[in-house]
Amino acid sequence: MTDPAASPDAARARRLDAVREWAVGTLAAAGVPNPEVDAELLVGHVLGISRGQVQARSIGGSELGLEDYLAVATAVERRAAREPLQHITGRAPFRHLELAVGPGVFVPRPETELAAQLAIDALLEVPHPEPRALDLGTGSGAIAISLATEVSHASVVAVEASPAAFIWAKQNARELAGENLRLVFGDLAEVLPDAAESFDVVVSNPPYIPQGAIPRDPEVRLHDPEMALFGGADGLDLVRIISRRALAWLRPGGGLVLEHAEQQGPAVRALLEADGWRMTMTHRDLLGRDRATTATR
């Protein structure tokens, strides 16, 4: 029997430029945002090369072996079904990090890099030589590991209540962080009973979607854990808890950083000011949308 993979038609189908074109078209038809980017990232993931190398090899007439061809086809079909790209590749970029992610943990977004930067800036301004930071609801560990690696003289504590997410955080901390990061498993409303005035910065990307809202993107709706998405009737239940607890955990003059939805800035500021926080300010992300609010104890 003739191997169909050895036929001229099959060989043409396996040319990288043809595979790329098919992948882009398939993802576009499925409504995937940025289909060219995702197609090239999926091909690169299978081949172990960068997007730029995928583009160069496509122009150069490179051809995929049958095993790689089938692996790309499977990956593209999964993405077309709106499985998150990061679940397929197993990795998610965040600032200078590449985090391990998968089912059970919230996939870190580029928007959250703003909250991480605000917390890093606040840590760098601490006047004493051993600043301490607390990341509440760390998920994959994205913010906490960024703080621990970019402010290496700081000590960072990261809290997570989801067993599934905690496993991912432990893996990422083991791969990427040093001894200045400590992970704590437990509910943020109950942990750290002896931490009064122990921290200089408290940061969190809490669940802030209102309970009745339905996330628009299938990747979020179908794959991100509900525990990381929904924050009560108005989305601010966890913000209220964090506001009260952080007042006790922070040293005088310490800073709070909270990520939130773009329309929640005024409500978050009002909530914090009512609790006694000073110097509340909402910050915009790179797309010009309100994304994080800071306050001082």
Catalytic residues: 106, 205-206
Side chain identity, residue 258: L
Contact by Cβ (8 Å): 258, 235: no
Kindly state the tokens that stand for 176. Answer: 């990427």
Contact by Cβ (8 Å): 253, 272: no
Taking the alpha carbons of 21, 27, 30, 31 in that order, is the dihedral positive or negative? negative
Task: At 153, give phi and psi (nearest 5°).
Answer: -85, 0
Task: At 157, give phi and psi (nearest 5°).
Answer: -115, 130
Contact by Cβ (8 Å): 156, 144: yes
270 three-class SS: helix
- Please state, in angstroms and rounded to a whole number, the distance separating the CA atoms of residues 155 and 181: 6
CA distances to 21, 63, 226, 236, 254 from 162, in Å: 40, 44, 11, 19, 27
Side chain identity, residue 236: L
- Please state, in angstroms and rounded to a whole number, the distance separating the CA atoms of residues 176 and 150: 11
Contact by Cβ (8 Å): 137, 168: no
Contact by Cβ (8 Å): 105, 225: yes
